[in-house]
């Protein structure tokens, strides 16, 4: 099961989204947006960049913890369905009826 995005109003009545893992853990919370169109664009940007984002290690070498001798670090396995799409292909999603809709028109769930 893949993670999901939840759109909500913060304490200042501004729109934000959070990315939740399949187990319900909050993985990320967005900045504040003025309206739902802006938050939808933010979600689209995260979807587009997350799979191809580079990792920059800003930790100094003194912060690195060395494993004990003979201990092999565990491999991290993703817990979501990894469905990669070639970078040159236009992203689209299939709804329950089988018709296509562009990634920039989100399907909102819950009351607004």
Quote the pTM value.
Answer: 0.53
pLDDT digits (tens, 9 = 90+) for 52-73: 778 888 887 766 666 677 776 6
- Tell me which residue of 4, 34, 40, 37 sits closest to 19, measured CA to CA: 4
Q: Report residues of the chain scoring pLDDT below 70.
A: 1, 62-67, 72-112
Task: Give the pLDDT confidence score for residue 1 in this predicted structure.
Answer: 65
Instruction: DSSP letter for 11, please.
Output: T
Q: Which two tokens stand for residue 53?
A: 């984002």
Task: Give the pLDDT confidence score for residue 74 in this predicted structure.
Answer: 63
Domain ranges of the chain: 1-52
Q: What is the Cα–Cα distance from 112 to 98, expressed in whole angstroms?
A: 26
What is the C-alpha end-to-end distance of the chain, expressed in Å? 25
Task: Give the pLDDT confidence score for residue 75 in this predicted structure.
Answer: 64
CATH superfamily of the 1-52 domain: YegP-like (3.30.160.160)
Instruction: Give the number of other CB atoms < 10 A from CB of residue 16.
Output: 17
């Amino acid at each position: 099961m893949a993670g999901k995005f939840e759109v909500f109003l913060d304490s200042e009545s501004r729109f934000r989204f959070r990315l939740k893992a399949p187990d319900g853990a909050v993985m990320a919370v967005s900045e504040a947006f003025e309206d739902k169109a802006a938050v939808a664009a933010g979600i689209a940007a995260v979807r587009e960049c997350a799979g191809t984002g580079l990792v920059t290690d800003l930790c100094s070498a003194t912060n690195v913890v060395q494993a004990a001798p003979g201990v092999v670090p565990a491999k991290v396995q993703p817990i979501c369905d990894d469905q990669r799409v070639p970078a040159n292909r236009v992203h689209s999603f299939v709804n329950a009826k089988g018709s296509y809709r562009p990634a920039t028109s989100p399907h909102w769930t819950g009351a607004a």
